[in-house]
Structures are given as structure tokens and as C-alpha cells.
């Protein structure tokens, strides 16, 4: 018996039959992930202009360097957290002691990871 004998008449030569479909080979593509995150938090600073001539006093933060204030308050950006985690994993793999294993440091990092909002995520082919 030939292979044709196992199919209904005319079905063997039907290119649209499911058993005649060619499997699409897997191919690697470049993919871009563009993500915007935001987080509201509290920071303390004296980097502002205080004018108590008027009542109530005028507080002007237009010249405040918020990036520095954020860092001085020991907060980390998502990219900084990712890099810390990468270093942590690298140190775990090599057997070197991690950056810090103090519970207060680890708890603070966990707090830095909380409260982020995904404002927008776009994942698409990278040309």
C-alpha cells in the first residue's frame, strides 16, 4: 500500500488540507519594549525659595533640582533598581557577597519597588 491509500479520494493532493500545511519555521526578531512608569512619593528638602514677606508664606520650587532631591532621600529609579538586582544576581552566581544583605537596606529596596504605575507599555518589532 502507498501513502495515498490512507487518505480519502482527492484528499492527498489537496494543498489546503491541514495535514499538508507546512510548519512555519521559528525566526528570531528584534523587539523593542518602551515603557513609561511613574510613582508619587514624599521627599524632604531645603532646596527651595522661601519668602515670608506675604501671608501665607510663598514657597517657590521652580529652581529645585528634583532629581538630586529624589536621590538624596535615598529613592531609586526603576533602572537603578534593575541594575542593583543585576548586581545581586551576578554576585549570587559568583559566590561573592551581595551589595548589602542588611534587612533595613533590603526593606528599603522593597519599598522603592512598590507603588509604580505602568503609564504606558508598547512592545513592537524593532526595525
Distance in angstroms (rounded) separating the CA atoms of residues 121 and 14: 44
Q: Cis link prior to 56 (omega < 30° from 0)? A: yes
User: What is the pLDDT confidence band of residue 107, given thresholds at 50, 70 and 90?
Assistant: very high
Q: What mean pLDDT comes out for the span 72-93?
A: 92
User: What is the pLDDT confidence band of residue 88, given thresholds at 50, 70 and 90?
Assistant: confident
What does 40-102 look like in DSSP terms, one character per residue?
--------SEEE-SSSSPEEE-TT--HHHHHHHTT---HHHHHHHHHHHHHHHHHTPPPS---
Distance in angstroms (rounded) separating the CA atoms of residues 103 and 112: 14
Q: Does 32 score more than 80 pLDDT?
A: yes
More confident residue, 50 or 15: 50
Task: Compute the mean pLDDT over every residue in the chain, rounded to the nearest whole number.
Answer: 88
Amino acid at each position: 500500500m502507498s501513502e495515498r491509500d490512507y487518505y480519502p479520494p482527492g484528499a492527498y493532493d489537496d494543498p489546503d488540507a491541514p495535514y499538508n500545511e507546512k510548519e512555519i519555521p521559528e525566526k528570531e526578531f528584534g523587539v523593542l519594549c518602551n515603557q513609561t512608569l511613574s510613582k508619587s512619593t514624599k521627599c524632604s528638602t531645603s532646596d527651595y525659595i522661601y519668602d515670608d514677606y506675604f501671608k501665607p508664606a510663598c514657597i517657590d520650587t521652580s529652581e529645585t533640582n528634583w532629581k538630586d532631591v529624589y536621590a538624596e532621600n535615598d529613592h531609586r529609579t526603576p533602572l537603578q533598581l534593575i541594575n542593583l538586582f543585576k548586581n545581586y544576581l551576578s554576585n549570587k552566581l559568583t559566590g561573592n557577597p551581595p551589595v548589602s544583605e542588611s534587612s533595613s537596606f533590603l526593606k528599603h529596596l522593597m519599598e522603592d519597588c512598590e507603588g509604580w504605575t505602568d503609564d504606558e507599555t508598547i512592545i513592537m518589532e524593532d526595525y
